Copies of this chain bind each other. A is one copy, B any other.
Amino acid sequence: MIERLISEIKKKNAPIVAGLDPMLKFVPEYIQKKAFSEFGETLEGAGEAIWQFNKAIVDAINDLIPAVKPQIAMYEQFGVPGVIAFKKTVDYCRKKGLLVIGDIKRGDIGSTSEAYAIGHLGKTPVGLTRISAFDEDFATVNPYLGSDGVNPFVKVCEEEDKGIFVLVKTSNRSSGEFQDRLLSDADNRPLYEIVGEKVNEWGKELIHEGYSDVGAVVGATYPEVGKALRKIMPSSYILVPGYGAQGGSGKDLKHFFNEDGLGAIVNSSRGIIAAYTQEKYAKYGENNFEEAARRAVIDMKEDINANI
């Protein structure tokens, strides 16, 4: 799967992923009103509003980017109707030729992790059939439970030609509380480096065109950590959150890439989908939120390509 992502990144000259995290406060009022007039102020109404919002964004930017990353929490908060909107979004994006990175951060053990893996990336056995349930292309995975939690995903990646990004060093302020701890049983190196080494190990049999189907998440907000992890995981694609709204900028990103100009894909969520709420793009107004999103993608692409 990683070779498909690389090919799309090259084709669109954009190592960029748009985070589809449709909080209701980003959805223009006229879209919300329309949805609520049909379904009421209900979870169904909210699901309809975020789905219509996503659809317009995707229509406006799909030719510019290789992939989207829907954050499932933003859908799950609306219960079953939210999960329906998530599934519609996944299907629509794939139909539009986009790769879909499900930002699900799942992680459990044994048969439970297997259930997540087949549910999101593989096919679930039902009677004599096997059925794709959510059918994303990639998923993010939490490593806290160790190999027992990650290996079922690796297995599905191999069988179904899919990919994962394992959380190594996250972009948030408190990510260091556990991830940065220095390990006396590993020459005083930080935990995230040991997780990075494991990412290498988990992905070593799944390398295509120089990169593995098993990638890593490393936040743009920690460029020095990105530099260190880039060396530790030379064959892993790094999914980089934290650009834009969280404070990372283009010049912070250089070290996340390899010398071949590949190896990283940078996410922006509200920086794109809520661009119209920023001063810089305010002239578009909420009636042209999707054009603001398109402009934000073009600007982000320039910023990042100038710094690789």
Contacts and interface: CB of A to CB of B under 8 A. Distances in A.
A42 B128 CA distance: 10
A149 interface: yes
A131 B80 CA distance: 12
A135 to B, nearest CB: 9
Given A32-B127, A172-B145, A77 B133 contact: yes
A65 interface: no
Contact of A108 (B24, B73, B80, B84): B73
A13 to B, nearest CB: 29
Give the oligomeric copy count. 2
A178 B195 contact: yes
Interface residues of A, number: 75
Interface stretch (A52-60, A184-192, A207-215): A184-192
A225 interface: no
A27 to B, nearest CB: 11
Given A107-B142, A145-B170, A146-B179, A78 B127 contact: no
A231 to B, nearest CB: 21
Contacts of A195: 178
Given A78-B133, A87-B79, A111-B23, A174 B194 contact: no
Given A43-B131, A144-B142, A146-B179, A77 B124 contact: yes
A38 interface: no
A125 B183 contact: no
Given A109-B172, A182-B183, A126 B45 contact: yes
Given A71-B112, A133-B78, A173 B148 contact: yes
A66 interface: no
Residue among A127, A131, A143 with the highest chain B CB neighbour number at 10 A? A127
A181 interface: yes
A179 B87 contact: no
A41 B129 contact: yes
A36 to B, nearest CB: 6
Given A24-B126, A146-B179, A148-B172, 16 more contacts: A43-B126, A45-B126, A71-B108, A73-B108, A82-B119, A107-B142, A109-B170, A142-B144, A144-B167, A144-B170, A145-B167, A145-B170, A146-B175, A148-B175, A149-B172, A178-B195
